[in-house]
Amino acid sequence: MFRKTVRGGVHPCGHKSLSNDSPIRYFPLSDTLYVSMQQHIGAPASPVVRPGDHVLKGQLIASSQGNISAPVHAPTSGRILALAEHTAPHPSGLPVLVATLEPDGLDEWGALNPPSDPMALSPEEVCIRIGAAGIVGMGGATFPSAVKLNLSLNSQIQTLIINGGECEPYLSCDDRLMRERATLIIQGILLMQHAVQAREVLVGIEDNKPDAISAMQQAAQGSGVQVIPVPSQYPMGSEKQLIQQLTGIEIPAMSRAAASGIIVHNVATAYAAAEALYQGKPLVSRIVTLSGGAVTHPGNWQVPLGTLASHFLNRASGFNEKPARLIMGGPMMGIQLPDLNVPVIKGTSGILALTENEINHTNPGPCVRCGNCVRSCPMGLLPLEMAANIRSGELKKANELGLHDCVACGACSYICPSSIPLTHLFNYAKGELAQQQKARQKMENTKVLAQRRERRLERQAKEKEALMAARRAAAAAKKAAQQQKEEA
């Protein structure tokens, strides 16, 4: 039974059957891989190899830097051709630093040294090994998993929730992963439970994935892990919605789930953790859904990181027709790609090639005050009021209405009969507010520096005046002593 019905949400056509019927296939190595140094939220990884170096599969090629970062490993054995910029998987098309790797065809692993009993490790050691494996949030957020686990270990976590919702249309990579590799996922979940010392583990899976639910329940028998079906309703895969559905707890605004004793990780993240600790393998590939009406052969492939999207799509499938839109991720929260000259990264859950019939080309019209956006908002916000304030330049008022709580799920834009790009407006406003905050912080820092300089100059002036006074007093004393000597 479902523990609680959450507010809002929409029911877009899933299109899951396009890709979820066939088993996961292994995508062959490309002639060249472009391994990005920025595959995670936070500071980019710093290369530790040079052009000309030969590397083995799984070898460290870039180390993490800063408090929030993740290392990068070679997805196969071969030679580093270059360290140079390449187009990033981002709508801007701006470049990022990549290591260009020429595979040698041997796909030879470096030394794999998994611990004899991962569950015997301390929670801190589990976190260290997950961090060293370069594991990030595989649901798309790409936050370094070790950082999240470490923060949670100090927060007295009671409940570990594993997100198997996969509510985005078209995507089925997590579904196939749970069907085919449930045992290893459960092992990874238990490792994560040990890492944060959680008392209970809940796995939420949308009820439109009966085979995945069955496989996970069977694998979880006797482990204490509870596999719970949840309603098929977008955005059920969003952290706050899944928490409320499974526990009845509503995470307060401007608060982290850990503050309420809860942590959420994705099923693919748990799988990667199990591979790292039970097999010694760092994160060098991931399951990617290839789908959309323009694709000839949709499905799910395990793809080496650094594979160009163009090579993946053309070799795995090809097109029925010219795609009208290319998306990395899901159609609701994914990013539109300028082209396919971008590499697969750790956060690439899917590559979609959509036809004209699958996208909405309707020009935005005036708001008809239907209230659909209000009813669909999972955060209980007032999208139409926020949008009106943003359009009139009243960003502060929009923020007071809860803009900071918007999770950019796109439910309001999807349900709007006037096709108003509400989510784009909210993302724009968030960006502007962030810039304004940055400008205010810069002004405040400048003010502090100016005040420090003024105090320093005042102090120096006083010290100089005291020094001059001392010199004058010494000179006067010397002169008086000289006069006394002459008079004597």
Same domain for 179 and 283, yes or no, is yes
Q: What is the pLDDT of residue 386?
A: 95
Angle between helices 182-196 and 173-180 (to 10 degrees): 100
Domain membership of residue 465 (yes or no) is: no
Question: What pTM, to 2 d.p., does this model score?
Answer: 0.88
Same domain for 159 and 263, yes or no, is yes
Domain membership of residue 463 (yes or no) is: no
Same domain for 277 and 388, yes or no, is no
pLDDT in tens, 425-460: 999 999 899 888 888 999 999 999 999 999 999 999
367 labelled ligand-binding? yes
Using a pLDDT cut of 90, give the percent of the chain over it: 77
Q: Among 268, 291, 314, where does a domain finish? A: 291
173 labelled ligand-binding? no
**How far is the C-alpha of 159 from the C-alpha of 315, rounded, in Å?**
43
Q: Are 50 and 80 in contact (CB under 8 A)?
A: yes
Same domain for 125 and 269, yes or no, is yes
Average predicted confidence (pLDDT) for the chain: 92
pLDDT in tens, 119-143: 999 999 999 999 999 999 998 889 9
373 labelled ligand-binding? yes
Q: What is the pLDDT of residue 66?
A: 87
For residues 294-316, average pLDDT = 96
Same domain for 150 and 259, yes or no, is yes
Domain membership of residue 340 (yes or no) is: no
pLDDT in tens, 244-258: 999 999 888 878 898
Q: What is the pLDDT of residue 1?
A: 42
For residues 309-318, average pLDDT = 92
Domain membership of residue 222 (yes or no) is: yes
Q: Among 291, 324, 352, where does a domain finish? A: 291
Q: What is the pLDDT of residue 4?
A: 53
Q: What is the pLDDT of residue 2?
A: 44
Q: Which of helix, strand or coil describes residue 341?
A: coil
List of residues 6+ apart from 161 with CB closer than 8 A:
201, 202, 203, 204, 242, 243, 246, 247, 262, 263, 264, 265
Same domain for 239 and 381, yes or no, is no
Same domain for 411 and 275, yes or no, is no
For residues 306-315, average pLDDT = 95
397 closest CA partner among 369, 428, 433: 433
Task: Say yes or no to pLDDT of 69 above 80.
Answer: yes
Same domain for 279 and 402, yes or no, is no
Q: What is the pLDDT of residue 71?
A: 97
377 labelled ligand-binding? yes
- Per-residue pLDDT band for 181 (boundaries 50, 70, 90) equals very high
Q: What is the pLDDT of residue 5?
A: 62
- The whole domain housing 412 covers 372-432
Same domain for 273 and 376, yes or no, is no
Q: Among 236, 267, 291, where does a domain finish? A: 291
Same domain for 263 and 391, yes or no, is no
Domain membership of residue 296 (yes or no) is: no
Angle between helices 267-279 and 145-153 (to 10 degrees): 90
For residues 382-399, average pLDDT = 93
For residues 69-95, average pLDDT = 92
13 labelled ligand-binding? no
127 labelled ligand-binding? no
- Per-residue pLDDT band for 488 (boundaries 50, 70, 90) equals low
406 labelled ligand-binding? yes
Domain membership of residue 8 (yes or no) is: no
167 labelled ligand-binding? no
Domain membership of residue 59 (yes or no) is: no
**How far is the C-alpha of 319 from the C-alpha of 340, rounded, in Å?**
13
Say how many domains are in the chain: 2
pLDDT in tens, 184-229: 999 999 999 999 999 999 999 999 999 999 999 999 999 999 999 9
Task: Say yes or no to pLDDT of 282 above 80.
Answer: yes
Domain membership of residue 437 (yes or no) is: no
Same domain for 286 and 376, yes or no, is no
Q: What is the pLDDT of residue 268?
A: 97
Tokens of 455: 């105090």
Domain of 257: which CATH number?
Answer: 3.40.50.11540
Same domain for 276 and 378, yes or no, is no
- Per-residue pLDDT band for 111 (boundaries 50, 70, 90) equals very high
Q: Which residue has the higher pLDDT, 147 or 187?
A: 187
